Every structure is written in C-alpha cells, then in structure tokens.
C-alpha cells in the first residue's frame, strides 16, 4: 500500500503539467501557422492575452472614464517580419474599406485550413521587442497586435496568420 501511494504521488508530482508565466497570467497558447508576406516564420511561442484597459480624459469640466478589455495576439519569431510598401498593400488588399494603414503598423490576414481569406485588417503596432543577439543569425523578435473588428469566434477557423509591417 505504501509503495502504491508513493508511486501515485510520484506520477502526480512529475506528471503534472507545469504552467508557463504567460499561462499563469491568463494567456491562451495558440498553434497558428504564422507567415509574413506568405513566407513562413519560425515562431517559438504564440499566445492570446486579455488585457484590461483603463482610459480617462478630462476636457474642461467633463470627465470621461472607460474601463474595457482587449484581446492581444503576441508571438515570438527568430526572424523579422517582412516590411511592405503601403501602396503595394493597398493594391493587394481585397477589401479596401476600414483600412487605416498605420505607418509602421501591421497588415494582418487570417486564413482558414483551405487557405481561404477569412478577414484582413490593419493595426497600429503594439509592443515590438527586437533583439538580434546573434548578428543576423536570429534572435528574439516579438510582435503584438490587438484583435478587434471581427468576431473572436472566427479564431476557431483560423489556421494561418499572415503579418506584414506597413512601411
């Protein structure tokens, strides 16, 4: 009996899945294929993270205050994203409405398993952390953009995300 309890405790302790820091903070790991201008990227980690946002604005005597949540997609690649000229992206875009084409922002396309375009949008660049420690041989290139303007339930259909930097 004692051996069985010891064996059971061994499997519980060593078989338990350890959580990453991201998971402890409430992030959901994803498994999308990430490309940049249709070129595959070697992505080492990708998550969707919900962040609470608080904004306040004081104009004259009126005081506006807002609390809301945003969902962000973050990923780490060992190479930089492809930078595309703004006019090339505009010509290439299938749906030209609702695109602000932010300078140094992202142009994002979501594709399903049949490589059918589900949605495309442009976003301001979120946190961008670029570190090339190996002198051109790769490093940590982290990108982030918020997910809005389409139903989040569509993410269940997404298999590939293509992200380009708008230059």
pLDDT digits (tens, 9 = 90+) for 26-61: 889 999 999 998 999 999 999 998 887 777 776 666
Asked if residue 137 is part of any domain, the answer here is yes
Asked if residue 136 is part of any domain, the answer here is yes
Partners of residue 130 on adjacent β-strands: 141
pLDDT digits (tens, 9 = 90+) for 124-164: 766 666 665 566 666 778 888 888 877 888 899 999 999 98
pLDDT digits (tens, 9 = 90+) for 71-130: 889 999 888 888 777 666 655 554 445 555 555 678 888 999 999 999 888 777 666 666
Asked if residue 99 is part of any domain, the answer here is yes
Q: Where are the alpha helices (DSSP H) in the chain?
A: 2-15, 21-24, 86-92
Per-residue pLDDT, averaged over 4-19, amounts to 63
Q: What is the pLDDT of residue 116?
A: 95
- What is the distance, to the nearest Å, from the Cα of residue 97 to the centroid of all Cα atoms in its chain? 23
H/E element holding 44?
strand 43-59
Per the structure, how many domains does the chain have?
Answer: 1
DSSP state of 154: G
Q: What is the pLDDT of residue 31?
A: 95
Closest CA to 95 of 107, 105, 83: 107
3-state secondary structure of 125: coil
Q: What is the pLDDT of residue 132?
A: 57
What domain range is 73 assigned to?
Answer: 29-166
Asked if residue 8 is part of any domain, the answer here is no
- 15 CB contacts (<8 Å, ≥6 apart)? none
Closest CA to 69 of 49, 83, 96: 49
Asked if residue 22 is part of any domain, the answer here is no
Asked if residue 150 is part of any domain, the answer here is yes
Closest CA to 105 of 81, 129, 126: 126
Closest CA to 162 of 104, 124, 118, 101: 118
In this structure, the chain runs to a length of 167
């Amino acid at each position: 009996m004692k051996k069985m309890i010891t064996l059971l405790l061994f499997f519980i302790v060593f078989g338990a899945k350890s959580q990453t820091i991201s998971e402890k903070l409430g992030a959901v790991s994803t498994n999308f294929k990430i490309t940049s201008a249709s070129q595959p990227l070697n992505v080492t980690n990708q998550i969707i993270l919900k962040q609470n946002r608080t904004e306040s604005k004081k104009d004259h005597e009126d005081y506006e205050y807002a609390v809301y949540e945003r969902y962000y997609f973050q990923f780490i690649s060992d190479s930089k994203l492809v930078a595309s000229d703004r006019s090339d992206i505009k010509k290439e875009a299938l749906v030209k409405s609702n695109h602000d084409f932010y300078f140094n922002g992202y142009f994002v396309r979501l594709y399903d398993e049949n490589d059918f375009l589900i949605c495309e949008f442009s976003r301001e660049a979120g946190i961008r952390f670029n570190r090339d420690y190996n002198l051109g041989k790769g490093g940590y290139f982290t990108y982030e953009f918020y997910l809005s303007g389409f139903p989040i339930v569509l993410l269940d259909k997404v298999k590939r995300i293509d992200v380009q930097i708008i230059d």
